[in-house]
Amino acid sequence: MYRIVITDKSGVDDFRCIDAIEEAMAKYGGECFFSLDPEDVTSCDGIILPGAPPDVDPGLYGEEKEPGCGVVDRERDDRRLAMIDAAVKAGKPMMGICAGLQQINVYFGGTLIQDMDAKEPHRYSPEYTADLRYHPVINIRDTQFHLLLGKSGIINSMHHQAIKKLGKGLIAGQVWLSETLTQEEKDEWLRKIEREEDGEFTGPCIIEGIVHKTLPIIGVQWHPELMFKAPVPGAVDYDKLFEYFAFLIRRTKCLKEG
């Protein structure tokens, strides 16, 4: 049995995301508990940062708060960032979901799109609680996402913020490309990502999944824990991500135990 700390059980959870994460990890021998105390990282085998409001404070990545940015809670941000810091220093496997991915990116020096405005495939609003949105994604070659999920697939979507500039050590493993792009433009975006060129991901390209180059860290902008509740034709195999996270935990424990 693995002990996994989840950094939040606060706020309104209309989708029951936390329950779904617990169920998903239990399938792979994970027992979850909740804490925002960095000291508890030492007694866990892995850490999950779930998606939950409020928005990440833009001051953490050197920007002023824009009108489209929602309510922020700097104290909670600081506590979650302290959990990430403790996990990184201890070499503990970490998984970020939605806002969790965004906080991991900010921890490593990245920035965020504060508000995606009305991008239809992505936009989250409370009235969507009974109807998740879906859109296609491309999994980047030679990344864990491609190995686990194949070339492409369908994912759910409910967010109004996203990664703008990747943090140090992070690479894009999964992206959404606008259908307004020509095939030539899509190919050029993919070449840029595969070459790991610096730059901002805005407009027609949104990062949906990240991995760290050297640390046992994976993050997704979408909600794999909810895929089994609302399956759609062509959807990616959400379960593979939780299985992979369990693998990271097992591998890390084996390496530490010699």
Q: Domain 2-257 maps to which CATH number in 3.30.1600.10, 3.40.50.300, 3.40.50.720, 3.40.50.880?
A: 3.40.50.880
Does 193 score more than 80 pLDDT?
yes
pLDDT band at 185 (very low <50, low <70, confident <90, very high): very high
- In this prediction, residue 134 carries a pLDDT of 85
137 token code pair: 């994604």
Instruction: Grade residue 250 by pLDDT with cuts at 50, 70 and 90.
Output: very high
Q: Is the pLDDT of residue 129 over 90?
A: no
Residue 224 has pLDDT above 60, yes or no: yes
Residue 174, CA distances (Å) to 24, 44, 86, 190 in order: 21, 28, 26, 10
pLDDT at 92 > cutoff 90? yes
> What confidence tens digit (pLDDT) does each residue in 46-76 have?
999 998 778 999 999 999 999 989 899 999 9
Where is average pLDDT lowest: 10-24, 123-137, 183-197? 123-137
Q: 123: pLDDT confidence band, cut at 50, 70 and 90?
A: low
**Confidence band for 15, pLDDT divided at 50, 70 and 90:** low
Model confidence at 187: pLDDT above 80: yes
Q: What pLDDT band is residue 128 in, cutting at 50, 70 and 90? A: very low
Active-site residues, by number, are 98, 223, 225
